[in-house]
Chains A and B, each alone.
Chain A
């Protein structure tokens, strides 16, 4: 049972480059989330998808876009990466009235 799978695990980008972080869950969960985690800042929500076909902004959406491709997959795109986007990105999912299941993160460095 894979749970939540994130790819890639590590990525280094130059300022201005673009990339897509992938996330897939195999638990048939309706809701999916993207968080970033920075030292001293905790987990901050970037975007979420309460159900297939919907996406909404979280606390820190600027510079990001998302796509809920189907019920399993929720991707996060950086169109023009900036050093301020250097962070660890976590994808999570959950079913109705259930706790979050997290992936193991993507460590992104933007130089």
Chain B
């Protein structure tokens, strides 16, 4: 069965450093992968989407890589700030029953210390 794995332990880093979060998946070849941010008490908010033919995507301080051979995506936040503290979720569309179903990893909590 399809499995999407993210580090379950919280990532603690110092302000100004680069945060790197990992998303690994098995048994599937997704057309694209998405990253979301979730703050406590709120719904997830879309950040970036990367397609299988794209190796890297950037948006301001955010960078996503997608290695379909390793079945892994890395999500980087450069020059991190305490305001970046949140839970980050990766998601894949899995084809099932004639539709693409958005399926999520369990998320990784990022804590940026001032």
| A residues at B contact (CB < 8 Å) | 4, 31, 33, 35, 40-43, 45, 48, 50, 56, 58, 90, 92, 94, 99-105
Does B97 sit within 8 A of A, measured CB to CB?
A: yes
Least Cβ distance of A10 to chain B in Å?
11
Number of residue pairs spanning A and B whose beta carbons lie under 8 angstroms apart: 51
B70-102 interface mask toward A, CB cutoff 8 Å, 1 = contact, 0 = none? 000000000000000000010100000111011
Main secondary structure of the interface of A (DSSP, over half): strand
Look across to chain B and name the residue whose beta carbon is closest to the beta carbon of A103: B43
Main secondary structure of the interface of B (DSSP, over half): strand
| A-B residue pairs in contact (CB < 8 Å), sample of 15 | A4-B43, A40-B8, A42-B89, A42-B104, A48-B99, A50-B99, A56-B99, A94-B102, A99-B36, A100-B46, A102-B45, A104-B41, A104-B42, A104-B43, A105-B41
Instruction: Give A31 to B101 CA distance when docked, in angstroms.
Output: 10
Q: Which of A43, A48, A102, A103 has the most B CB atoms < 10 Å from its CB? A: A43
Question: A40 contacts which chain B residues (CB < 8 A)?
Answer: 8, 106
Are A101 and B46 closer than 8 Å at their CB atoms?
yes
Question: B99 contacts which chain A residues (CB < 8 A)?
Answer: 31, 48, 50, 56
